[in-house]
Structure 1
Amino acid sequence: MSTPPTSSGPQLRSFASTNRFLTEIASPSSLRPGYVLVGDEIFLYDRCRKAVLSTLVPEDFRDFSLHDLDLSETSIFEALDRAQTPSLMAPFQVLFIRNIKNLYGRGSKKEEFAAIEAYFRSPNPQALILFVADHIRIPTDVRRMDYQDKERFDRIRETLGEWCGTVELARVDENDAVRWIADTAESRSVRFDPDAARELADSLGADMMLISSEFEKLLLYVEGKNRVTLGDVETMVLAAKQRSLYELTDAISAKDRPRALALLHGLLNASDGGEDAAIGHLYMLARTFRQMLIILEKNVRDSRAIWQALWQGFRMPPFAAEDLIRQARRYKSRRELTRALRLVARADLELRSSPVNKVLVLERLVLDLCAEPKSSLYEPSMQFAIEM
């Protein structure tokens, strides 16, 4: 799915570096012979790439003028030779060079950097080289950059940065993501309610690639009424539903019965299946309590350790990691969490037995989960909880 056009102006700090890049490539007088795109924010990289192609590479000439090279397969000498050689078939050449971490591996690479320096001292004016450094992660707050990433970035500045412009593809700030949603919707003649934009950004952890994809789905969903509400986001975006569930387990772990019941009804009202979605909510509750049980057993204390403790396919969305660690630590022992799993298993058995009112089953479950443990509640089997 194509990325929607952005209306991000200079007031959005997260887009400032890419905005400067887009301004430079739009004018031959400001275009540099090379750039380094540093960072793993795919949305911003995609934005830069599309701008380069639309500005410098006519669609009819792309087979002859666009080159995607990988330094694990092609040497830097061959890439530079290709850039230096004028094309007989196209007026301009663009080279995207990936895996530049190979330039900074073992050995001094003196010959490689000497060749790069020689090229940029006399570059081909009809060519643009874009080095892609997507092995570096730049957080929203650069002061929190990992030491190893910072060291890698400094080496790029000291070498390629001497000849090339640097474009930072840092993670997008959450407030900027919210503004992007509202501004881009407005440019498409759609009103995106502020609380809906905030929920979309929050539930997807400000991941702009996911946000842009869900944004398009929402605009299709509201076609005709041209307005996106909080309810639309909660209905259409899976992560928003998961977010509501983590809020429910937060209230349960805090023993806050009124808030837990209110959140339960909010989940049911937002579900496509209404009461019939109850089994799905129980599955997610069981999964979440199992995650908390492992977090407690392995004494996980920060979000980095959580990815080692939980295996692939059994992890929570990134936005929920810190919340779930905090919730797990509210339980004093493994016994309390196994009790919660037994209660969920009992409710699951009751729901599958076609009760008169499924909502009452879920309400009783939430009240029991919020209550202090009693010895009689440890008697049922764990079989159903394990299956869930």
Structure 2
Amino acid sequence: MPALRSFAVVDRFLAELGTPAMKPGYVLLGDEPFLYQRARSGVLGQLVPSDLRDFCLHDLELGSDLTIFDALNLAQTPSLMAPFQVLFVRGLKALYGRGAKKEEFAALDKYFRAPNPGALLLFVADHLQLPADLRRLEREDKERYDRIRETLGEHCGIVELQAVAEPDAIAWVQQTAAGRGVQIDADAARELVDALAGQMMTIAQELEKLILYVSEPARVESTVTAKPNTITLADVETMVLAAKQRSLYELTDAISGRDRARSLLLLRGLLNASDGGEDSAIGHLYMLARTFRQMLILHEKNVRDSRAVWNVLWPGFRMPPFAADDLIAQARRYRSRGELAGALRLIARADQEIRSSPVDKSLVLERLVLDLASPGKVHQHNEAA
């Protein structure tokens, strides 16, 4: 499979693992969930034996209950049950909050001058959004990006999880389908990527369904024009555009309209249409966070016409054209920026809970949707922040 530029940074990172070139720490920089999952799965596959996972894999979240000193202490302490430890440290934004954090950075500097060779630290900086073209980086994210490179970048490798460029997304769809023995027409691949606004996690899920769909004998027998093991534009329109594409915006419409019963019903439809696994749950949360961030910008810029959307939302962060008017209307249902910010905090809390391996991820999502559709919960979480 030919290399794609958007995946090159993650692929180079994975190629370093287990070699003398591997660094004692890396920063996974950016909020692209598909590339993050690609990096995480590669780390687990190479460095975390499945039978030792409970002893050598640590998912940590910086905050009031855990500090960077705790994380470094854990990394420095050899495990009695496993020869190597992998630590994913989320919530990196806390390290760059108010205050100089001189003691924290001094502790990091001390650790990396004599790191534990039996541990790998992976800092997850998903509070930044990196576009496919870094020259289009927002000023606030640029400042955060530079600050991380100036501090942790002195000791750690930087793995930039940028938004996947549209040509690479299309090529990935074609290559992935070919690897499964399925051909996808160029128009169908382009429509799949465009219809799902380039969101790779969702694209991967929908491609899997399309591959299974065109492999079914009943699909070929139902129409004389269908070719076996070939995904056509009509297949994408049938399987994706008619159902999945609009379901997320229907969900946010119900949430912004405070219709809890309809919100829950639409969420269950989304869950039933996916495999319900970790990737799916993270994908749903990511799309909710993305949509609420879009609404926040539309609200702040007082956008009232879909033609203005293209001026305030940058390429790679725009919704599909069919959803523009709906999303503008949904954003105007919120009375203040604080309400939308409170909704994003609820989503972030659910994301943290999902990644801490709850017994039932669907229950986490259901509780989130009920909270988002309850004005009191959104106000309460905004005031608490």
Aligned counterparts of 2:20 and 2:37: Cα–Cα separation in 1: 24
2:19 match: 28
1:45 match: 36
Aligned counterparts of 1:153 and 1:180: Cα–Cα separation in 2: 27
Aligned counterparts of 1:165 and 1:296: Cα–Cα separation in 2: 40
**Paired AA for residue 211 in structure 1:** I
Determine if contact 1:39/1:137 at 8 Å carries over to the other structure.
Answer: yes
Q: Are 2:294 and 1:303 equivalent residues in the alignment? A: no
From 49, 55, 63, the equivalent of 1:58 is 49
The alpha carbon displacement at 1:91 in A equals: 1.0
**Paired AA for residue 48 in structure 1:** A
Determine if contact 2:306/2:324 at 8 Å carries over to the other structure.
Answer: no
1:230 match: 233
Aligned counterparts of 2:303 and 2:319: Cα–Cα separation in 1: 20
The alpha carbon displacement at 1:240 in A equals: 8.3
Aligned counterparts of 1:152 and 1:33: Cα–Cα separation in 2: 22
Taking structure 2 as the reference length, what is the TM-score of the superposition? 0.63
Aligned counterparts of 1:296 and 1:146: Cα–Cα separation in 2: 19
DSSP 3-state at the match of 1:302: helix
- Inter-CA distance 305–321: structure 2 relative to 1 (3 Å threshold): farther
**Paired AA for residue 166 in structure 1:** I
Deviations 1:174-194 (A, max 9, x none): 110000000011111111111
From 80, 85, 91, the equivalent of 1:88 is 80
**Paired AA for residue 19 in structure 2:** P
1:17 match: 9
Determine if contact 1:302/1:322 at 8 Å carries over to the other structure.
Answer: no
Q: CA RMSD in A?
A: 2.8
- Inter-CA distance 304–137: structure 2 relative to 1 (3 Å threshold): farther
Aligned counterparts of 1:241 and 1:163: Cα–Cα separation in 2: 43
The alpha carbon displacement at 1:172 in A equals: 0.4
**Paired AA for residue 232 in structure 2:** T
**Paired AA for residue 202 in structure 1:** D
The alpha carbon displacement at 1:320 in A equals: 1.7
The alpha carbon displacement at 1:303 in A equals: 2.5
The alpha carbon displacement at 1:319 in A equals: 2.3
**Runs of 5+ unmatched residues, structure 1:** 1-6, 244-293, 308-316, 329-388
Q: Are 2:168 and 1:176 equivalent residues in the alignment? A: yes
Aligned counterparts of 2:309 and 2:90: Cα–Cα separation in 1: 30
The alignment-based identity, stated in percent, is 58
DSSP 3-state at the match of 1:29: coil
DSSP 3-state at the match of 2:13: helix
Aligned counterparts of 1:297 and 1:51: Cα–Cα separation in 2: 42
Aligned counterparts of 1:127 and 1:46: Cα–Cα separation in 2: 20
- Inter-CA distance 22–297: structure 2 relative to 1 (3 Å threshold): closer
Aligned counterparts of 1:67 and 1:297: Cα–Cα separation in 2: 44
1:320 match: 321
Determine if contact 1:17/1:168 at 8 Å carries over to the other structure.
Answer: yes
Deviations 1:68-89 (A, max 9, x none): 0000131100100000111010
Determine if contact 1:204/1:239 at 8 Å carries over to the other structure.
Answer: no
The alpha carbon displacement at 1:28 in A equals: 2.3
1:349 match: none
Determine if contact 1:71/1:102 at 8 Å carries over to the other structure.
Answer: yes
The alpha carbon displacement at 1:125 in A equals: 0.6
The alpha carbon displacement at 1:298 in A equals: 3.4
From 182, 187, 190, the equivalent of 1:198 is 190
Number of residue pairs aligned between Structure 1 and Structure 2: 259
Determine if contact 2:87/2:121 at 8 Å carries over to the other structure.
Answer: yes
- Inter-CA distance 103–323: structure 2 relative to 1 (3 Å threshold): closer
- Inter-CA distance 158–220: structure 2 relative to 1 (3 Å threshold): same
Alignment of 1:1-388 (within 5 A): 7=1, 9-10=2-3, 12-25=4-17, 27-72=18-63, 73-224=65-216, 225-238=228-241, 298=304, 302-303=308-309, 318-320=319-321
Once the two structures are overlaid, the 10-residue window that deviates more, 231-240 or 296-305, is: 296-305
1:259 match: none
**Runs of 5+ unmatched residues, structure 2:** 217-227, 247-298, 330-385
Aligned counterparts of 1:303 and 1:221: Cα–Cα separation in 2: 35
The alpha carbon displacement at 1:151 in A equals: 0.4
The alpha carbon displacement at 1:141 in A equals: 1.3
Deviations 1:237-288 (A, max 9, x none): 0378969xxxxxxxxxxxxxxxxxxxxxxxxxxxxxxxxxxxxxxxxxxxxx
